[in-house]
Amino acid sequence: MPQRFLIGLSSGAGLNGVEAALVRAEGIGLQMTLHFQRFVSQQHSRDVRELLRSAASGVAVPARTLALLHRILGDSFANAVRQLLEDAKFEPKRILCIGCSGHSLWHESDGRLPATLNIGLASAIAERTGLTTLIDARSQDVVAGGQGALLTALPDWLLFRDQGESRVLVHLGSAATLVALPAACHPKQVIGCQAAPCGLLLDSFMHRLTAGKELFDRFGKHAVQGCCIDPLLERWLAHPFLQRRPPRHVSPLDFGEEFITQAAQLARQLDGSLHDLLCTATHFVARAIVEALRRWIPWRPARVLVSGGGIHNGFLWRLLEQLLAPLRLEKIDVCGVPAEARKATAFAALAALTLDAVPGNLPALTGASGARLLGSIAPGDPANWSACVAWMARQTAMPRLVAA
């Protein structure tokens, strides 16, 4: 059975830093088995975090600054690869390629000309590591009419499906996403949607509450100090986004700075504090996730598996446990992949699928007009690029199953 090693890289809207995962893949295409090997995380400096926050907020940022961020992120990804290989005592020449999420500064999938802006200079990654790098998977789906969301659904199917157990994966990232995997399912049977804002909303309130000193509400220690403002919660639960049918994408246009400012004003009118506002927002995220699960998943799972930075928010976790009881709520670690490594591992899988000439998106979930090969390629050094080309030549000469 063909075997290869890949590295996945990710950077989330939480602005914490970049993550790298080492993955071993056996087999090809939809018959591939993925084995998580190792994971590292590197934090951004405070200056880089603030530049990223400004650039993503819609504030005018000079082109020079954007270009600099593009390069800095590329170098950060390369540094994470080098640390990962050093920690694993792994020779770079054993890696076939890198799959990188990049960092999304702007994503608007609705309108006459949907557009997405993803930064993280792939050429810098390829130059500094010598490894062929696939990046910007989202753009191809968007150009094909998709939302550019839930691109990890097919990797999730490869990693977490079970022959005897129906599962729902909940990813608590910038948005809360659901991916439902019926027992013994085929990719066409996978269901999913973006349920609600998560880090996009909670981290913005934290930034306001702590004047930018804290990135997120670790353990929910700030939210738990407040009280839920029920009139505000009910208002948010009637938000038009929650009424839209999937495919849909949580946008800063829906829950960005304007929403945060209006929410703060309404809280003050209702005599609520910033802690109350954060508590209410955490209740909103939990309620919206559970309502989306009940509304859009037509069967009851045996288990709910959770990943993403939101797992560190103990208050959010407890609310989800209460609302989902008696369903079991567990981190995806029980399946062999650390909760913080899910996204990086998924992008390693997307790179593997592209090299196998297998489309990586599921059109029923993204809304694209059809299945597409995903990613733009920055070739590595001649030896690595030759290995990638040779691999692709072998796979395109073989019949394969396609997900959609």
Per DSSP, the residues of 117-166 read EEE--HHHHHHHH---EEE-HHHHHHHTT--S--TTHHHHHHHH--SS--
Lateral strand order in the sheet of 376-378: 33-43, 17-26, 3-11, 95-100, 133-135, 376-378
Q: pLDDT (tens digit, 9 = 90+) per residue, 34-92?
A: 999 999 999 998 888 888 888 877 667 789 989 999 999 999 999 999 999 999 999 99
Which pair of structure tokens corresponds to residue 199? 């880090």
Helix then strand count (H, E) for the chain reads 15, 13
pLDDT value, residue 247: 95
The answer to whether residue 324 sits within a structural domain is yes
Q: Are residues 120 and 200 in the same domain?
A: no
Question: Is the pLDDT confidence value at 402 over 70?
Answer: no
Least confident of 41-45, 73-77, 124-128, 162-166: 41-45
DSSP single-letter state for residue 393: H
pLDDT value, residue 397: 56
The answer to whether residue 247 sits within a structural domain is yes
Instruction: Tell me the sheet residues that pair with 108.
Output: 115
Q: What is the mean pLDDT of the chain?
A: 93
The answer to whether residue 401 sits within a structural domain is no
The answer to whether residue 15 sits within a structural domain is yes
CA 30 to chain centre: 21
pLDDT value, residue 60: 74
Q: Are residues 62 and 199 in the same domain?
A: no
Domain of residue 123 covers 3-147+342-396
Q: pLDDT (tens digit, 9 = 90+) per residue, 178-212?
A: 999 999 999 999 999 999 999 989 988 988 888 87
Q: Are residues 213 and 168 in the same domain?
A: yes
Last residue of a domain, one of 316, 339, 362: 339
Residue 332: give its domain's CATH number: 3.30.420.40
The answer to whether residue 184 sits within a structural domain is yes
Task: Give mean pLDDT, residues 340-354.
Answer: 97
pLDDT value, residue 398: 58
Last residue of a domain, one of 339, 362, 378: 339
Task: Give mean pLDDT, residues 321-346.
Answer: 96
Q: Are residues 185 and 327 in the same domain?
A: yes
Q: Are residues 288 and 384 in the same domain?
A: no
Last residue of a domain, one of 294, 321, 339: 339
Least confident of 95-99, 121-125, 217-221: 217-221
In this prediction the pTM is 0.94
Q: Are residues 174 and 207 in the same domain?
A: yes
The answer to whether residue 254 sits within a structural domain is yes
pLDDT value, residue 154: 98
Alpha-carbon torsion angle 74, 79, 81, 85, nearest 10: 160
Instruction: Tell me the sheet residues that pair with 95.
Output: 5
Q: Are residues 363 and 247 in the same domain?
A: no
The answer to whether residue 299 sits within a structural domain is yes
Around 315, how many Cα atoms within 13 Å sit in the side-chain half-sphere? 23
Per DSSP, the residues of 57-76 read TT----HHHHHHHHHHHHHH
345/23 Cα distance (integer angstroms): 7
Q: pLDDT (tens digit, 9 = 90+) per residue, 248-303?
A: 999 878 898 889 999 999 999 999 998 999 999 999 999 999 999 999 999 999 99
Q: Are residues 331 and 218 in the same domain?
A: yes
The answer to whether residue 224 sits within a structural domain is yes
What is the domain count for the chain?
2
Q: Are residues 348 and 332 in the same domain?
A: no
Q: Are residues 352 and 273 in the same domain?
A: no
Q: What angle do CA 95, 101, 105 make, to 5 degrees?
A: 150
Q: Are residues 259 and 379 in the same domain?
A: no
Q: Are residues 51 and 64 in the same domain?
A: yes
